Amino acid sequence: MQRLRYATLAVITILLAVFPVLKPEVYYLSFTFSVFMYVILAASWNFIGGYTGYLSFGHAAFFGIGAFATAKMAAVFDLTPAMTILATIPAGVLAAIVALIVGYPCLKIRGPYFAVVTLCFAFVVDLAVKNIELLGGAEGLWMKTMDFPEQMSRSIMYEVMLVLMIITLAVSWWLGRSRFGAGLTAIRADEEVAETMGVPTARLKIQAFVLSAFFPGIAGGLFAYYLTYIHPDVVFNVNISILIVLMAMFGGGGTWLGPIIGAVILTVVNEGLSTFAQAEIARIIYGALFIIVTIFMPNGIIDFFRKKNR
């Protein structure tokens, strides 16, 4: 049965990777790109949120830091497309470093207070970028578009995001099975007890937080290059932070599959509704979706299906 699972995964991965070769319309590449992005964001958030139980409500900050760092580097060093894509990695590292600096004091705070402190953090970063010309300012930043035909450039971005998603999900998979992950789950269950059992809670929390910031940072850089214009309102948006939390918990926090399901369903449904229903009605249906799913599956989708098979 394990083999069936691995086989399915391999098949899906290959199908996704090969998709651009079929020369689909650019929109499908772009849309799937955004789905991958939200999967990465939700799955990374899950490291600190779902597994460890520290709900970060400012995760868009890391996304935005990656975006602005990449855009700034591309402008300052006049990078080629390949270098720009590679520049997203140091951008991700920067996001991780910021997470380290901020996480150290903030992870000492528990529960709702941690949620609000991260919310404030996201606003602080947003306002700092807007106020400080050097960091980008309130005009936003432009990037040079890739000099390839659109089909090719979108395909490249698609593949890169796919690779990032696979890596992020691989890390997430490993986390679920590792001692690290077990430690995080212990922290979520009862932090004091975990401490008395010898789990190095402070160190694990910070590691989880830093790891959870790294991938969104890279994703942010890729997103910036995909739009070729970013503005603080676009990437530091509180709606993104909240949406990431909802996606992960909606699908099922603390599981490998949960954020994937949450991100895919919410993004696809939102797009489908906007395409077919009248604007306000689409939003109302979208809101109703949250309500209905939560009433029937109050612990997330994964948990519901898990229970059904007892």
Partner 1 sequence: MTGKWKKGLSLLMIAAVCCGLMLLIPAAGFGAGKPIVIGGSLPLTGEFAETGQWIERGMRYWAEEINAKGGLLGRPVEFKIYDDQSNVGKAVTFAEKAITVDKVDFLFGGYPGTAARAVMAVAEKHKMVYVSMGGHMKSFQQGYTYSFGAPPLMGEWWYEGFFQWLNSLPPDKRPKRAAVYTINNPVGLSLLDCINRWAKYLNINIVINEKYNSPLTDATSLIVKAKQNNCDILFSNGFFPDGVTTIKAAKALDYHPKAIVQGIGSVVPAWVKELGKDGDYVFSGTVLHGKLNYPGNDKLNAYVKKKYKLDGYPLYFGFGYAWMQTLQQGVTGANSLDQTKIRDWLKTHKVNTIAGTMTFDKYGLPAPINFCTQIINGKVELIWPKKIQTHAPVYPKPAWSK
Partner 2 sequence: MRRFTRNRPGPNNVDAVLVTQSLISGIMMGMVYALLSVGFSLTWGVMHVIHISHAAFGLLGAYLAYSLLEYLGIDPVVSAALSAPLLFITACGVYQLLIKPITRAKEVIVASMILTFGLAIILENVMVLIWKADPRIMTPVYASGALIVGPFYFQYPHLVGFGLSLVGITAIYLFLKKTYTGMAVRAAWQQPEAAQLYGVNLYRISMITFALAVSTAGAGGIGLALLNSFEPHSHNLWLIYLFLVVIVGGVGNVVGTALAGLLIGVVTGLSMAFLPFQWVNLVTFGLLMVFLVFRPHGLFTEGV
Best CA proximity match to 127, nearest among 219, 215, 61, 216 = 61
Question: How far apart are alpha carbons 258 and 310 in whole angstroms?
Answer: 18
Selected range binding partner 2 among 77-85, 158-166, 202-210, 240-248, rule: CB under 8 A = 240-248
**Contact call for residue 253 and partner 2 (CB under 8 A):** yes
DSSP state of 213: H
Q: Can you say how many angstroms the Cα of residue 151 is from the centroid of all Cα atoms in its chain?
A: 25
Of 132 and 193, the one with the shorter C-beta distance to partner 1 is: 132
Largest CA distance in the chain: 59
Q: Which of 145, 174, 299, 306 binds partner 2 (CB under 8 A)?
A: 299
Beta strands in 160-245 (DSSP E): 229-230
CB closer to partner 2, 108 vs 203: 108
Q: Write down the least CB distance from residue 139 to partner 2, Å.
A: 14
Residue 133: CB atoms within 10 A of its CB come to: 10
Cα 208 from chain centroid?
A: 14
Contact predicate 211/197, CB 8 Å: no
- Tell me the per-residue interface mask from 269 to 298 with partner 2, x by CB under 8 A, - otherwise: -----------xx-xx-xxxxxx-xxx--x
User: According to CB under 8 A, which one of 21, 27, 76, 105 is a site residue for partner 2?
Assistant: 105
What is the contact surface with partner 1 in residues (CB under 8 A)? Answer: 1, 4-5, 8, 25-28, 30-31, 34, 127, 130-131, 138-140, 142, 145, 150, 153, 223, 226-229, 231, 233-234, 237, 239, 257, 260-261, 264-265, 268-269, 271-272, 274-276, 279-280, 282-283, 301-302, 305-306, 308-309
Q: Does 15 bind partner 2 (CB under 8 A)?
A: no
How many Cβ atoms from other residues are within 10 Å of residue 72's Cβ? Answer: 18
